Amino acid sequence: MQINADSIRENVFFRRLSEAQSAEGSNGIHWSDLPISFGTALQCAHLDHCICGLHGLLELLHANQGACEGGQLGLGDDLTDRLFYASRALTASAKDKLTEMQQRIASASQ
């Protein structure tokens, strides 16, 4: 049986759109299925993705540090610096989103 390559691409395309529309979390949950507004679900998904991405970057940096301390080749200074920049950007994005959510919740309760 031959599988149509266009069909596979289409399935992936629509699956990715569906994931975005349901604010899918890093662990597969759909934030939009929870009893919160869709806007809040998207914000929670954003925070989830920032934290997950930051965790991955920190794991890489930790492994790099261990390799370098053990006298082995690591990622190199240039890539290590870029990973630190990415870590800072993810952290800043998550902090900004959290501040935005806190302000929105505070203004709604007044």
Tell me the pLDDT band of 21, cut-offs 50, 70 and 90: low
Q: For 56-59, which contacts have Cβ atoms below 8 Å and span 24 or more sequence positions?
A: 57/83, 57/86, 57/87, 57/90, 58/87
pLDDT at 106: 87
pLDDT at position 2 over 90 = no
Mean pLDDT, residues 65-79 taken together: 95
pLDDT at position 84 over 90 = yes
The pLDDT tens digits for 29-62 are 889 889 998 888 899 999 999 999 999 999 999 9
Identify the weakest region by mean pLDDT among 39-43, 68-72, 92-96: 39-43
Q: Where are the domains of the chain?
A: 32-108
pLDDT at 88: 97
Of 4 and 56, which is predicted with more confidence?
56
